[in-house]
């Protein structure tokens, strides 16, 4: 696996999906039959969780794009770069897990795994950037 490439591609596709989900949420709030009840419950329970999934889905997708570009630039540390890239992709379990909770009644374990994976990916990618970023700039004189 080329470290970073899948993070960028998958990140952009996931971002598009969560953007589309945002349009669905707008439909439910503004146009769907029973929208008054939906608005009344906007900050509670499933409605709040749905918005949380939308926001975190786009955030984690954007984080994957950023991670991908950083990991593609870092030199050396191939195994660590692959781990960081995989953890970033696994981080997408967090917003997906929220949706699975809302619509399927799934356990919140996926949310926790995804959040931990994304945090670990960001930390590891930061360390790799500090240690393996190429110094392309000409020396100052």
31 lies in some domain: yes
In residues, how long is the chain? 141
58 lies in some domain: yes
139 lies in some domain: no
137 lies in some domain: no
Contact of 128 with 88, CB cutoff 8 Å = no
Residue 52 lies in domain: 5-132
138 lies in some domain: no
Return averaged pLDDT per consecutive 10 residues of the chain, 141 residues in all: 88 98 93 87 84 95 98 95 98 97 96 98 98 75 52
Q: What is the pTM of this model?
A: 0.89
140 lies in some domain: no
In whole angstroms, how far apart are CA 30 and each of 35, 37, 39, 107?
A: 6, 11, 8, 30
**pLDDT tens for residues 92-125?**
999 999 999 999 999 999 999 999 999 999 999 9
79 lies in some domain: yes
Domain count for the chain, please give it.
1
28 lies in some domain: yes
pLDDT at residue 141, as a whole number: 52
């Amino acid at each position: 696996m080329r470290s970073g490439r899948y993070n960028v591609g998958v990140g952009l596709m996931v971002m598009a999906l969560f953007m589309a989900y945002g349009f669905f949420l707008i439909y439910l709030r503004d146009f769907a039959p029973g929208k008054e009840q939906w608005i009344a419950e906007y900050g509670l329970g499933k409605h709040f969780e749905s918005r949380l999934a939308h926001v975190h889905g786009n955030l984690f997708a954007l984080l994957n794009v950023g991670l991908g570009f950083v990991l593609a630039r870092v030199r050396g540390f191939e195994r660590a770069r692959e781990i960081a890239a995989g953890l970033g992709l696994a981080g997408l379990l967090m917003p997906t897990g929220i949706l699975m909770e809302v619509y399927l009644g799934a356990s919140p374990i996926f949310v926790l795994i995804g959040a931990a994976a994304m945090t670990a990916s960001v930390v590891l990618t930061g360390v790799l950037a500090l240690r393996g970023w190429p110094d392309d700039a000409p020396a100052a004189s």
